[in-house]
Every structure is written in structure tokens, then in C-alpha cells.
Amino acid sequence: MILMKDIIREGNPTLRETAQKVTFPLTQDERQLGKDMMKYLEISQDEDLAAKYHLRAGVGLAAPQVDVSKRIAAVLAPANDGKILFKDILYNPRILRESVKHAALNEGEGCLSVNRNVPGFVVRVDRITLEYFDITGQRHEIKLKDYPAIVVQHELDHLNGVLFYDHISKESPFKLPENTIVIE
């Protein structure tokens, strides 16, 4: 089981590396890591279990955050009503197409690897076409928009050594470019 002590924090060089692609068939370790990362997200979103295991709630976790520099990420993006907008373990994910329209979360973003609040809009694209391979090696090509698209972009950034605050303007953190929607 992944606990907070297993998650590395900003300053650790692994978070700034470009992670390596996996090859198929996946190794047992690569499949287990994906499952463990998803289990972290599930438990962390359950109030009682999160309190029991002292987990910070997360909607995404990337392998570099547990010090494994491979292109693996888990995403569990819930809607406000508790429905699940997108849930899967992504192997070798990549964005095939992105919208011209941009989007930013009204609350800004946070990260399990960053123990501080960094205020400001993280401007991303609103819609993506995502390619990824699942735990069985099956290829998927899906369209995502708004919140789950933003979560996926945050996790893909981790695979490229990018942290969310790299996207926040230093001079004007709350200035939104034209053609950007704010997501509540």
C-alpha cells in the first residue's frame, strides 16, 4: 500500500526527470504499481479511510511521485455529485490532439508532491484526445474535457518533469489569457 511517506516531494530530482516509456507486456511490478497507485486514490477519497491512513486526498498520481521514473499514472476524477468522470491506470499516455480553448480550475491546483499552497491559475487546454494503454496492453483513444482533462494534463506533466506551478505566471498569477474558461 502506498502511504504519504512513499510519495516524494518537490526538490527530489526524480520529479524533474523525463520518465521512460514502458514496453508490453508489462512486468508484474509495473502492473502492481499501477494498481497500488489507483488504490491510493480510492482510499484517499474515502473520508474515513483517508483519516485512518493519514492520506491527503488525490485525484491523480504518477509513478515519478513514488520515485519510479516510468510513464505510468493513475487518474480517478470524481464529479461534485460523486459520480466518476474518468478512472483508469494509464501506461504510456500521450495527448494526440488539444483544443484551442484553454481552461483553468477556479481553485488553482495542488499536488501530493508539493506541501504548500501555490496560488494562481494553471492554464491548460480545455479538451484533449488522449491515447493510452491499459494494464492489459489494450490501446485506448478517448476525448476528455474540463476537469478530467485538466487532471490528466497534470499527471502527464509529471511524466515530463513538470510541476503545476511551472505554469503559473510569476508576474500576474491570476491573469487569464483570452479564450480561457474557468472551471468551478
Give catalytic residue positions.
Answer: 155
CA distance 182 to 106: 6
Ramachandran class of 62: left when φ > 0, alpha when ψ lies in -120 to 50, beta otherwise? beta
Q: Which of 114/135 has CB closer to Ni ion? A: 114
Nearest approach, Cβ of residue 136 and Ni ion (Å): 26
Nearer to Ni ion by Cβ, of 58 and 171: the residue is 58
- 110/178 with CB nearer Ni ion: 110
* Integer Cα distance of 51 and 111 in angstroms: 18
Binding mask 102-141 for Ni ion (x = CB under 5 A): ---------x------------------------------
What gap in Å lies between CA 40 and CA 4, rounded to an integer? 9
The answer to whether the bond into 13 is cis (omega within 30° of 0) is: no
Segment 54 to 113, residues that bind Ni ion, using CB under 5 A: 111
Residue 60 CB partners (closer than 8 Å, separation 6+): 41, 73, 74, 75, 76, 77, 151, 152, 154, 155
Phi and psi dihedrals of 138, rounded to 5?
A: -70, 135
Min CB(111)–Ni ion separation in Å: 3
How many residues lie near Ni ion (CB under 5 A)? 1
Closest residue by beta carbon to Ni ion: 111
Q: Count how many residues are written for the chain.
A: 184
Give the cell for residue 174: 491570476
Nearest-approach distance from CB 51 to Ni ion, in angstroms: 21
| Min dist. Cβ of residue 110 to Ni ion (A) | 8
How many CB atoms are closer than 10 A to CB 19?
20
Would you say 22 or 73 has its CB closer to Ni ion? 73
Identity of the residue, 166 or 178, whose beta carbon is nearer to Ni ion in the bound complex: 166
Should residue 38 be labelled a site residue for Ni ion when binding is judged by CB under 5 A? no
Q: How far is the CB of 80 from Ni ion (least distance, A)?
A: 21
In the complex, which residues of this chain contact Ni ion (CB under 5 A)?
111
